Amino acid sequence: MAKHGPGPHGPGGPGGGFRKPKNIRGTLGKLMRYLGRYKLHLVLVAALLVASSACTVGGSYLIRPLINDYILPGDFPGLARMLAVMAMVYVLGAVCTFGYSRIMVHISQTTVAKIRADLFGNMQDLPLKFFDTHTHGELMSRYTNDIETVSEALNNSFGSLVSCTLNFSGTIAMMLVLSPPLTLVTFATLAVMLLVVKTIGSRSRRYFADQQKALGEVNGYIEEMIEGQKVIKVFNHEREAQEGFQRRNEAYRDAATRAQVFAGMMMPAMGNLNYINYAVTCCVGGLLAIRNGDLGGLAAFLQYSRQVGQPITQISQQVNTLLSAVAGAERIFEIMETPPEDDQGKIRLVRAAEDESGALARVHRDTNTWAWLKPDGTLVPLRGDVRFSHVSFGYDEDRTILHDVSLFAKPGQKIAFVGSTGAGKTTITSLINRFYEIQGGTITYDGLDVKDIAKESLRRSLGVVLQDTHLFTGTVADNIRYGRLDATDEEVEAAARLAGADGFIRHLPQGYQTVLSGDGGSLSQGERQLLNIARAACANPPVLILDEATSSIDTRTEKLIEKGMDRLMAGRTVFVIAHRLSTVRNAKAIMVLEQGEIIERGDHDSLLEQKGRYYQLYTGLEELA
Amino acid sequence: MKHTLWPHARPYALWIALGVACSAMEAVFELLIPLVMSDIVDVGIASGDQAYILRKGGLMVALAVASLCFGLGAAVASSVAGMGFGASLRRAEYGHIQTFAFSNIERFSTASLVTRLTNDVHNLQMSLMMSMRLMVRAPVMLVSALFFSIRISVRLSNIFLVALPLLAVVVAVLLVTTGPLFRSLQEKTDALNLVVQENLAGIRVVKSFVREDRERMKFQQRNDDLKNTSLRAFGKVVINMPLMMLIIYGTIIAVMWYGGQMVYAGTLEAGKLITYFTYITQIMMSLMMVSMIFMMLTRTVACAKRVAEVLGEAPAITDSGAEPGKDGLPLEPADGSIDFDHVSFKYSAESPGWILEDISLHIPPGSTVGILGGTGSGKTSLVSLIPRLYEADQGTVSVGGRPVAAYTMESLRESVSMVLQKNTLFTGTIRENLLWGNPEATEEELWAACRAACADEFLERMPGGLDTDLGQGGVNVSGGQKQRLCIARAILKKPKVLILDDSTSAVDTATDASIRAAFASELKDATKLIIAQRVASVREADLILVMDGGRIAAQGTHEELMEACGIYREVYQSQQEGGSIDG
């Protein structure tokens, strides 16, 4: 049920959001909790709503005495008095309407802002697995479509729904007071109207579902084809691409026309049924008036009978908006309620220095020494000793990627992983910083189980340079400073020089102040990787993980930045993944991985002597699947 | 803008006219009803004539039914016209994008093109439909209601001289003040979405550097911005309704006062007075509708501009220079020879330096050419000029002895096959993707191409073989497998020139070597250009080009370059220290 269900309103309207909410009561309850801190506001809103409805409905009733008691007899001072009363009632009504709408705007916008902040805040704590299993488009639509419908509902529908219901019941009540027989006529029409709403509504909903599906298909096709537009051009495939498009385009047009015809019929149908009601009321009322002469009563009743139909259409519209808002809220809460990354660790990373006696003590200045602070207050020096013992892991519980992996990295060593795609190289490094939870075995860091280390501290101690580069909108300097937020300009430039990025940065239009946008789209992949390395250099972490960090940098440039990389790696424990064996050649220990198992280990020379897998890879004899 | 969008609405001109007429008639018939009502009160009730009342009542019902019919007609016509216009506009825009050169696509960016084809067109079609239903209705309502009111009583209608300008001022002020606020609201929303988007894309970086708090701060800042702007914007909007109510009610009271006196004096009948109320409400309602339409249109105008921009973009490369071949068929390249004659090129006219500078080069047909060079040295740009993906700014690029512009793009690209660096497979089966290369390829030809690209070994292991479903964007195959399928697709074209732009980067050395061996035997006559990072990939080439800073730094065979070219030696030696494996 989209916001433009069977109503005449809502041009555009987001695609999707067509699902029915699963648990209306529960979700409404959660929404109510957000509104909880506005209890007083809401009470005030309720009071104003009632007052405004009473004024609107009551104001029309005044027409009867106005005509019967003052105009027809010609009592003008009385008419003036009565009109003054009427004016006051109307002004009060308008003020109340303004009052409750203004308060609702405040409530809805602050609530929506709070929901947005909570959604984003909670999302930051979710495990990577969550981001692996949800597409960006899907998550983005939580922030755009879903929040939008919730905002729309809080802003308008809540108030409208209540005021329409109040107006409707008020109007019916007043009609009964004015003339029970005429009210019967109205009831008959209302029954027909409800029937129309129901039949048109349910067909319209079905057609809308078809329309949304067709829209999804045409939009999906457009997205895929435009993404691959360059390939289409290279293969002269324009005509076929256009045929495929046109098929979906026409299907959508047919479905949309059907849906829109039905939706568009609602307004004239309701409006004119109301006029028929008006006509019949006029007739019957006229016949009655011949007998009782209550002209004012007829005038007032006619005014009511014109109003009575409106709430029905509006209520049916608002209920749809509200339902799709509840469905949206449900999806938002689903993300908020996803359990965050497991983070029970208590051990924290602190700066330390040796005092005169040579013992380690915690300090609050910038030293190059780090230590782990245990909950009992003792310090363990950070050395970068990483051990895996009998670790097994799979992204899905039932598909194990790593089988019984044991390895150790001594402090200051360079450890390299080689192996074909899917052998589990990246997986191993993702386990050290606990991006994923292992299913068996233990990983220790300086003798501490990584599970006991606070995640924030664990990750701060590890600098990771990933194969897929990501740059944020902002200046080049900002992007490097992402590694360490308080780095000075000099430190940023030093990091860039270390990574060999200084040269190309200086050639950019504004140097370090050049603004990057669209994930640094104006830079080449190689340049982006250099910036990524600079970012890690700026962070200056005790342990480095380089996952194909130089894969897009040509060998000559790699050669040029080798010195910088050597300086970057000096004295640190470094894990390197690379497909160029030249990059890993000088590693202290090289692990050859195959299908999640370490099949060979040793340094370059000893591995070559073994004449095993590594030897075959190095000499290019063996093909990897 | 009108010029570019109107032609797509023109086929629906009749439907639009019909819809507009129906809406207008619906409004007029609706407004006749209260007029009949006043007769019932003033004639029927006053004289006690029951038959008259029933007759007039029947007339009112008839009017309502007529109005209903027109209303339904308007619903049908506006839907057909709106959705038809949307479909036609979408087709035109999509079709126009098909004529775009790479530079046109890059100017807009893929994401923006997608929005312009989806959301923007959707918005436009809905706007056309809604305006047909409302935009006609409101003014017709306004004018006829005014007309009828004046006919009832000119004197009483003087009240409108005060009320209408007042209402117009209120609506105008509101539109003027909220307009910029809503624009700024859109900007703030975009800014917020950008933070979320980048956060999602870079979530591993965020988590690695423990920057969750900074991201939250960044988000909070934009969120507060957005909240404050929306508070201001919506805060202004809610004044709209009560203010209008006040004006409507003020008018009703004034009508009561003056009208009441007129009724007493006998210059106005009571029934007419009641009818008058109805018209007042009607007039004010239609004015409110007009203000709503204006708000909707500001958004629509922005969409229309964006779509018109795409439609107005002239394709950077056209077939205008193509020469006819024999028998009226398009000219085809005679062979796979390639010539560059003092060619210079840059991606945008504004950039100061050349990407390629004064390149001259001759490649004989059937030869194998290796291209090496550092990041940004111009390798990809060089080969992109051959299938005319971009146009050289100076000098000429020739294929088969004639300038590339002499061929139609279709016939040129039929002969020149290129495997792009960032390649795409499409939703569908492997077979469907391979058929892109040659729709008429037989089963044997498909397998032969797969064998040449070394894709047969993993295809045979796949349960569905060639009919395996790839999923969107080819997610069911690994990077190396994808590259091999893309090569097979390119081979199927049986091209005269085959270009591989770093297309085996995810394939291991041994497979890479056997693919090259297959090229030598299967594509003997085709000219093969291979861009590579590894010297091993190009070592046996007839000619190796070493690119540096947009120029050809050196060219020759492996042996010649080892002797003469410092850069080449350096690269060669750096790679001799280790092989390379499937990454």
| A368 Cβ under 8 Å from any chain B Cβ | no
A525–B375 C-beta distance less than 8 A: yes
A442 vs B: CB within 8 A: no
pLDDT for residue B212: 87
pLDDT at B224 over 50: yes
Tens-place pLDDT, residues B332-373? 888 889 999 999 998 777 666 788 889 999 999 999 999 988
From chain B, pick out residues whose CB is under 8 angstroms from the CB of A623.
508, 510-511
Q: Are A120 and B219 spatial neighbours (Cβ–Cβ below 8 Å)?
A: yes
Helices (H), B335-494: 379-384, 409-415, 430-434, 443-452, 456-461, 479-491
Q: What tokens appear for A416 in the block?
A: 């390299």
* Residue-by-residue DSSP string for A422-433: TSSHHHHHHHHT
Nearest Cα to Cα of residue A480 among A454, A500, A450, A509: A500
Say if residue B22's pLDDT is above 70. yes
Residues B169 and A561: their CA atoms lie apart, in Å, by: 68
**What does the pLDDT read at residue A98?**
92
Write out pLDDT tens, residues B186-212.
788 888 888 888 888 788 888 888 888
How confident is the prediction for chain B on average, in pLDDT? 84
Q: Which amino acid is at A508?
A: L
Within 10 A of B75 (CB to CB), how many other CB atoms are there?
28
Q: Which is it for the CA torsion A162, A164, A167, A171, positive or negative? A: negative
User: Rounded to a whole number, what is the distance in angstroms from the first to the last CA of chain A?
Assistant: 49
Instruction: Using CB atoms, pick whichever of A117, A278, A617 lies closest to residue B581.
Output: A617
Residue type present at position B478: S
Scan residues 228-267 of A and list those with Cβ closer than 8 Å to B: 228-238, 241-242, 245-246, 249-250, 252-253, 256-257, 260-261, 264-265, 267
Enter the tokens of residue B388: 């005319």
Q: Which residue of A has its CA nearest to B235?
A: A102
Contact A90 B102 (CB under 8 A): no
Q: pLDDT below 50 — which residues of chain A?
A: 1-18, 621-625
B19 — pLDDT class (breaks 50, 70, 90): very high
Going by C-beta distance under 8 Å and a sequence separation of 6 or more, which residues neighbour residue A399?
Answer: none
Q: How far apart are the C-alpha atoms of B368 and B538, rounded to whole Å?
A: 9
Q: Does the pLDDT value for residue B575 go beyond 70?
A: no
- For residue B504, which phi and psi values (nearest 5 degrees)? -120, 25
- Cβ B209–A524 below 8 Å, yes or no? no
What pLDDT does A580 receive? 66
pLDDT of residue B320 exceeding 80: yes
Annotate B460-524 with DSSP letters as a single string: HHSTTGGG-B--GGGTTS-HHHHHHHHHHHHHTT--SEEEEESTTTTS-HHHHHHHHHHHHHHTT
Contact B208 A466 (CB under 8 A): yes
Q: Does residue A554 sit at the B interface (CB-CB below 8 Å)?
A: yes
B253: nearest CB among A86, A225, A242 = A86
What is the DSSP annotation of B227-290? HHHHHHHHHHHHHHHHHHHHHHHHHHHHHHHHHHHHHHHTSS-HHHHHHHHHHHHHHHHHHHHH
Q: Tell me: the pLDDT tens digits for B438-471?
A: 888 899 999 999 999 888 888 887 778 888 887 6
Two tokens at A28?
């409404």
| pLDDT for the residue A406 | 86
CA distance A357 to chain B (A): 34
Helix axes A39-61, A295-336, angle to 10 degrees: 160
Judge contact between A182 and A288, C-beta under 8 A.
yes
Cα of first residue to Cα of last residue in chain B, in angstroms, is: 50
Question: Closest approach of chain B CAs to the CA of A358, in angstroms?
Answer: 31
Q: Among A590-599, B30-39, B156-165, which stretch is predicted with the lowest mean pLDDT?
A: A590-599
State the smallest CA–CA distance between residue B395 and chain A in angstroms.
23
Please name the member of A94, A143, A230 whose beta carbon is closest to the beta carbon of B245. A94
The DSSP result for A266-319, as a single string, is HHHHHHHHHHHHHHHHHHHHHHHHHHH--HHHHHHHHHHHHHHHHHHHHHHHHH
Tell me what pLDDT residue A112 has. Answer: 92
CA dihedral A560, A563, A569, A575 (to 10 degrees): 40
What local confidence, expressed as pLDDT, does residue A452 receive? 92
Q: Is A40 exposed, middle or buried (0-12, 13-18, 19+ CB in 10 A)?
A: exposed
pLDDT at residue B221 is higher than 90:
yes
Q: Which two tokens stand for residue B15?
A: 């439907």
Beta bridge partners of B548: B551
Mean pLDDT of B28-46: 83
pLDDT tens sequence across A604-620: 888 888 888 787 777 65
Cross-chain residue pair B201–A519, CB shorter than 8 Å: yes
Look at B418 and A556 and tell me if their CB atoms are within 8 Å: no
The ipTM of this complex is 0.81
Interface touch A113/B129, C-beta < 8 Å: no
d(CA A514, CA A87) in angstroms, rounded, equals: 63
- On chain A, the residues whose CB falls within 8 A of the CB of B389 are 230, 233-234
Cβ of A213 under 8 Å from any chain B Cβ?
no
Among A235, A245, A276, select the one facing B64 at the smallest CB separation: A276
The dihedrals phi and psi of B395, each to the nearest 5 degrees, come to 80, 180
pLDDT reading at B179 higher than 50:
yes
* Contact across the interface for A265 and B72, Cβ inside 8 Å: yes
